[in-house]
Amino acid sequence: MKFNSLLKVLVLLLCIFEGIGKTYAQNAFPYSITNDVKNRELSAAMKRSFYQYQSPFLPENELYSQFRYTRISGLGYNNNDGTVTRRDPSKIIFENGKYYVYYTKRQTSVKPVGGVWTSGYQNTPPVNPKWNDTIPSVDWDLAEIWYATSIDGFNWVEQGVAVKRPAKPTPGWRSVATPDILKFKGKYYLYYQAFVEAPGTRGDYCPVGVAYSDSPDGPWLHSTKVALDTGAKGEWDQYAVQDPTPLVHNGLIYIYYKGAFNRPNTVFVALGLATSDNPLGPFQKHPLNPVINSGHEVCFFPFKEGVAGFAITDGNEHFTIQYAKDWVNFEIAAITEMMPLGGNGFVPDAFTDTKDGRGITWGLCFFRYSDDCSYLARFDCDLSQDVHDKEMKGNHYPIDAEVYFKKSLSEAQKERIQKQNESLQNEH
């Protein structure tokens, strides 16, 4: 062996021994944790514990919470016959000594007949749809934005319609749905999904419209221009921008929203960010969009110097609470369970341009009563720097067995299992 090659082998051996030495030189991971433990060589999992989460200990992780649910009173649903729906509540704001919430309300003579969703987006519109100008396709078709107020957050009084469907061709003439509120420089803005075709015609196509007012009680004026448009052809959000959720940061309006990208016939839901200094737009979409790879309905709130958000129903990271110190690059901050469907919080510092967001402790969400029709409910949590509610920070909460057994096997699954059994029997 030449001298050079011998040297290389020696160096290699030295490196290997040094590597092994490093790995095994440290003592076993200690039972009692001190800050020093961070200086050890850590496995990937323990690095996440110490560097990614607010605390390695679940009860001390300020972005971890359980959720508690309460029925709210004051809002009727025609004996749950499907002709009245309330869903997708806005953030809750506190104005004039009371809480305000805005939401999708559908009041139709019949319940929805069902849209066409089979291949997600890009459906060919049905030739003879079952819906028409008065028959809704889905739960949020032919809807308006209504609002209610409350003194305690449990008993609500509906105040009436806030944003009606505008006249054609202003976007939203078919349905205005899924609103969220912004207060900016003394004026109020409601952002909403502005449908120009029945949702469920080719998917759930819509841009975001906006209406504005001098008071949270209205009257609300429609902007004739779309505030946040769908992406250009071929872009991830080309068909729909939904669930717009505005906050104020660094003097700008930050709107987080839902879009969806596609691998033929499978829709992947993700969340994006768009910013503007003008509440009526235009908004600039962030070049790193999507900024959250999961989620569905959108709930964001300032937290410390950054922003926290829920990833609820869809995606690899569903049922997580996420955090971005820079308002763009989100990391999983907590994994939880039974998150509020369509939840949106009471966020007192949503519009104060805070550099120390305090978090949230409650909000409203929705449940379904039948045939996909919906009603509002209240959720409580402890995602706040100011509240330390031990009951919200636990785990190991037993869920009733009946809830598990409701998740029963389908006929197709039973057939698959029977075939597996049969093929094993035949082998012997």
Least Å from the CB of residue 258 to ligand AAL: 6
User: Residues 122 to 141: which contact ligand AAL by CB under 6 A?
Assistant: 140
If the CB atoms of residues 54 and 262 are measured against ligand AAL, the closer one turns out to be 262
Of the residues 66, 193, 294, 361, which one makes contact with ligand AAL according to CB under 6 A? 193
Nearest in space to 378 (alpha carbons), one of 361, 362, 393: 362
35 Cβ contact list (under 8 Å, min separation 6):
none
**Three-state secondary-structure class, residue 221:** strand
Nearest in space to 243 (alpha carbons), one of 312, 180, 328, 287: 180
On whether the CB atoms of residues 291 and 329 are closer than 8 A, the answer is yes
For ligand AAL, how many residues bind (rule: CB under 6 A)? 12
Least Å from the CB of residue 349 to ligand AAL: 25
If the CB atoms of residues 297 and 382 are measured against ligand AAL, the closer one turns out to be 297
Verify binding: residue 204, ligand AAL, rule CB under 6 A: yes
Verify binding: residue 178, ligand AAL, rule CB under 6 A: yes
d(CA 415, CA 409): 10
User: Residues 228 to 267: which contact ligand AAL by CB under 6 A?
Assistant: 242-243, 258
Verify binding: residue 171, ligand AAL, rule CB under 6 A: no
Nearest in space to 253 (alpha carbons), one of 286, 296, 225: 286
d(CA 350, CA 320): 21
Of the residues 62, 144, 180, 297, which one makes contact with ligand AAL according to CB under 6 A? 297
Least Å from the CB of residue 259 to ligand AAL: 11
User: Residues 79 to 118: which contact ligand AAL by CB under 6 A?
Assistant: 88
Verify binding: residue 296, ligand AAL, rule CB under 6 A: yes
d(CA 203, CA 214): 35
On whether the CB atoms of residues 19 and 41 are closer than 8 A, the answer is no
Verify binding: residue 192, ligand AAL, rule CB under 6 A: no
Least Å from the CB of residue 408 to ligand AAL: 25
Q: Are strands 208-213 and 144-150 parallel, antiparallel or unpaired?
A: unpaired
User: Residues 19 to 78: which contact ligand AAL by CB under 6 A?
Assistant: none
Q: Which residue number has the CB closest to ligand AAL? A: 178
If the CB atoms of residues 241 and 381 are measured against ligand AAL, the closer one turns out to be 241
Q: How many CB atoms lie within 10 A of CB 274?
A: 24
If the CB atoms of residues 150 and 193 are measured against ligand AAL, the closer one turns out to be 193
Q: What are phi and psi of 414, to 5 degrees?
A: -60, -40
User: Residues 334 to 363: which contact ligand AAL by CB under 6 A?
Assistant: 342
- Element (DSSP H or E) covering residue 309: strand 306-311
- Pull the structure tokens for residue 23: 């790995």
If the CB atoms of residues 241 and 247 are measured against ligand AAL, the closer one turns out to be 241
CA–CA–CA angle 290, 292, 298 (5° rounding)? 105
If the CB atoms of residues 180 and 382 are measured against ligand AAL, the closer one turns out to be 180
If the CB atoms of residues 218 and 342 are measured against ligand AAL, the closer one turns out to be 342
- Pull the structure tokens for residue 163: 């944003």
* Sites of contact with ligand AAL (CB under 6 A): 88, 140, 177-178, 193, 204, 242-243, 258, 296-297, 342
